[in-house]
Copies of this chain bind each other. A is one copy, B any other.
Amino acid sequence: MPKAIILINTEMGADEEVFENLKSMPEVKAVYMVYGLYDIVAIIESEDMNKLRDIVYKSLRSSPKVRSTLTMIVVKGHESR
Protein backbone atom coordinates (compact mmCIF):
# COMPACT_ATOMS: atom_id res chain seq x y z
CA MET A 1 0.00 0.00 0.00
CA PRO A 2 1.63 3.29 -1.05
CA LYS A 3 2.23 5.68 1.83
CA ALA A 4 3.19 9.38 1.80
CA ILE A 5 4.21 12.00 4.33
CA ILE A 6 2.87 15.45 3.57
CA LEU A 7 4.31 18.66 5.01
CA ILE A 8 1.58 21.29 4.99
CA ASN A 9 1.58 25.02 5.46
CA THR A 10 -1.87 26.47 6.12
CA GLU A 11 -3.27 29.93 5.64
CA MET A 12 -2.70 32.05 8.74
CA GLY A 13 -5.09 31.00 11.55
CA ALA A 14 -6.39 27.93 9.69
CA ASP A 15 -4.21 25.38 11.49
CA GLU A 16 -6.97 23.89 13.65
CA GLU A 17 -9.48 23.69 10.82
CA VAL A 18 -7.11 21.89 8.43
CA PHE A 19 -6.01 19.60 11.28
CA GLU A 20 -9.61 18.62 12.03
CA ASN A 21 -10.39 18.02 8.32
CA LEU A 22 -7.42 15.71 8.00
CA LYS A 23 -8.40 13.83 11.16
CA SER A 24 -11.71 12.95 9.57
CA MET A 25 -10.19 11.41 6.41
CA PRO A 26 -9.90 7.58 6.59
CA GLU A 27 -6.70 7.53 4.55
CA VAL A 28 -4.98 9.79 7.09
CA LYS A 29 -3.20 7.41 9.46
CA ALA A 30 -1.70 10.18 11.58
CA VAL A 31 -1.71 13.97 11.63
CA TYR A 32 0.24 16.41 13.78
CA MET A 33 0.17 20.21 14.35
CA VAL A 34 3.80 21.24 14.85
CA TYR A 35 6.00 24.24 15.66
CA GLY A 36 8.52 25.01 12.95
CA LEU A 37 9.09 25.34 9.23
CA TYR A 38 5.80 23.50 8.48
CA ASP A 39 2.45 23.77 10.23
CA ILE A 40 1.02 20.27 9.89
CA VAL A 41 2.50 16.84 9.10
CA ALA A 42 0.15 14.14 7.78
CA ILE A 43 0.84 10.48 7.07
CA ILE A 44 -1.51 9.06 4.47
CA GLU A 45 -1.93 5.53 3.15
CA SER A 46 -3.98 4.46 0.13
CA GLU A 47 -4.75 1.38 -1.93
CA ASP A 48 -2.72 2.46 -4.93
CA MET A 49 -0.83 5.39 -6.43
CA ASN A 50 -3.93 6.74 -8.18
CA LYS A 51 -5.91 6.88 -4.92
CA LEU A 52 -2.90 8.57 -3.32
CA ARG A 53 -2.99 11.12 -6.11
CA ASP A 54 -6.67 11.85 -5.55
CA ILE A 55 -6.16 12.43 -1.82
CA VAL A 56 -3.26 14.81 -2.46
CA TYR A 57 -4.82 16.70 -5.37
CA LYS A 58 -8.57 16.43 -4.78
CA SER A 59 -8.79 16.59 -1.01
CA LEU A 60 -5.68 18.40 0.17
CA ARG A 61 -4.51 20.70 -2.58
CA SER A 62 -7.98 21.97 -3.40
CA SER A 63 -8.74 23.14 0.12
CA PRO A 64 -8.64 26.96 0.27
CA LYS A 65 -7.16 26.85 3.78
CA VAL A 66 -4.06 25.00 2.60
CA ARG A 67 -1.29 27.29 1.40
CA SER A 68 1.27 24.70 0.24
CA THR A 69 1.96 20.98 0.44
CA LEU A 70 5.18 19.04 0.08
CA THR A 71 4.46 15.36 -0.62
CA MET A 72 7.18 12.80 0.08
CA ILE A 73 6.49 9.24 -1.09
CA VAL A 74 7.55 6.67 1.55
CA VAL A 75 10.27 4.29 0.31
CA LYS A 76 10.33 2.18 3.49
CA GLY A 77 8.68 2.61 6.90
CA HIS A 78 8.69 1.16 10.41
CA GLU A 79 6.13 1.82 13.11
CA SER A 80 6.68 0.52 16.65
CA ARG A 81 3.22 1.54 17.93
Chain A positions within 8 Å of B, measured between CB atoms, are 3-5, 7, 9, 12-13, 15-16, 19, 23, 26, 28-38, 41, 43, 53, 56-57, 61-64, 66-68, 70-81
Contacts and interface: CB of A to CB of B under 8 A. Distances in A.
A43 B33 CA distance: 13
A79 B76 contact: no
A80 B35 contact: no
Given A30-B78, A35-B71, A36-B36, 14 more contacts: A5-B32, A13-B57, A13-B61, A13-B62, A19-B76, A29-B79, A30-B81, A33-B75, A33-B77, A35-B36, A36-B70, A36-B71, A36-B73, A37-B70
Contacts of A7: 7
